[in-house]
Amino acid sequence: MKEIQFDAIRDAVAKLCIDANCLLGDDVVQAFEDGLKIEESPAGKDILNQLLENEQIARKEMMPICQDTGWAVVWVKLGSGVRVQGGELYDAIQQGVARGYTDGYLRKSIVKDPLRRVNTKDNTPAIIYTDIGPGDGLEIIVQPKGGGSENMSEVKMLSAADGAEGIKRFVVDRVARSKANPCPPVIVGVGIGGTFEKCAMLAKHSLLREIGSVHPDPFYADMEKELLERVNKLGIGPQGLGGRVTALAVFVEAFPCHIATMPCAVNINCHAARHKSVTL
């Protein structure tokens, strides 16, 4: 049995919260640069250059990429041979989020109750998803998720008769209705199958993929490629000012489903596609 100290988990999560909000992934930066090569709109090019400049300032000054530092979504892979010494795993994660958002001077965006709207003042509680499997490792991914892009997300219970084309229409329509609201260029996460809530989790989890990666199943790889082309033909462009680069990527995750159902979820991420991971 491998023992991992409570304090080590707490401190690692705190650092992940700060790093995720200040250090954009190299894949996203490269996607901005690639977008400049194909963007024809002068306004679109200007926006992409501003995003690159903003990323450089954030990295140099260790300041948040965006004022919306998001809800801390935490993905945990826990080996069955791991024991947390000195406290409970979820308590360590919650304390880490509170410390990271406080020490990093990150905006606290979470309210205790959806209707009574009193701020928790430390950005907790985090949303935690845990996958338990064999081994003695503990991997933690912190994915700050902004409210503007989250508002543009949707689940739809399609029928099996709608088929792949019905899914494609729903995804493209969801992006079209979103317009400038999710701060494009966006990353579009698509979850297909499972149940009502499972497909939403799939869509959000897909956003952890590296931009430029290809789905291992050629069927879904082709779907991702077609969806990206169709989304970028909408003409929304960077920050909604028009252009070819509305999305940087479309990622699909699929899961078995009931014979009577075909759930589909779209979870949109703004251009600040933030996530950092650590293995303890």
Read off the pLDDT of residues 177-202 as tens digits, 9 standing for 90 and up. 999 999 999 999 999 999 999 999 99
Q: In the structure, what pLDDT confidence band is assigned to residue 169 with cuts at 50, 70 and 90?
A: very high
User: pTM of the predicted model, to two decimals?
Assistant: 0.97
Contact assessment for residue 171 and residue 234, using Cβ atoms and an 8 Å cutoff:
no
Buried-state track 243-265, b at ≥16 Cβ within 10 A, e below 16: bbbbbbbbbbbbeebeeeebbbb
In this structure, the chain runs to a length of 280
Q: In the structure, what pLDDT confidence band is assigned to residue 148 with cuts at 50, 70 and 90?
A: very high
Cis ω before 185 (30° cut-off from 0): yes
Q: In the structure, what pLDDT confidence band is assigned to residue 50 with cuts at 50, 70 and 90?
A: very high
| The pLDDT value given to residue 183 | 97
- What's the half-sphere exposure (Cβ side, CA atoms, 13 Å) at 244? 12
The single-letter code of the amino acid at 69 is T
Cα end-to-end span (Å), the chain: 14
Domains of the chain from N-terminus onward: 2-20+65-145 (no CATH), 148-273 (3.30.1330)
Q: In the structure, what pLDDT confidence band is assigned to residue 99 with cuts at 50, 70 and 90?
A: very high
Residue 158's closest CA among 79, 266, 44, 27? 266
Strand 154-158 and strand 82-85: pairing? unpaired
| The pLDDT value given to residue 278 | 98
Mean pLDDT over each residue of the chain, to the nearest integer: 98
Q: Across-strand partners of 268?
A: 188
Residue 206's closest CA among 258, 257, 141? 141
Contact assessment for residue 167 and residue 264, using Cβ atoms and an 8 Å cutoff:
yes
3-class DSSP assignment, residue 22: helix
- Strands lying side by side in the sheet with 276-279: 127-133, 71-79, 138-145, 276-279
| The pLDDT value given to residue 44 | 97
Q: What angle do CA 137, 71, 90 make, to 5 degrees?
A: 40
Residue-wise pLDDT for 247-277, tens only, equals 999 999 999 999 999 999 999 999 999 999 9
| The pLDDT value given to residue 119 | 98
The mean per-residue pLDDT over the stretch 13-35 comes to 98
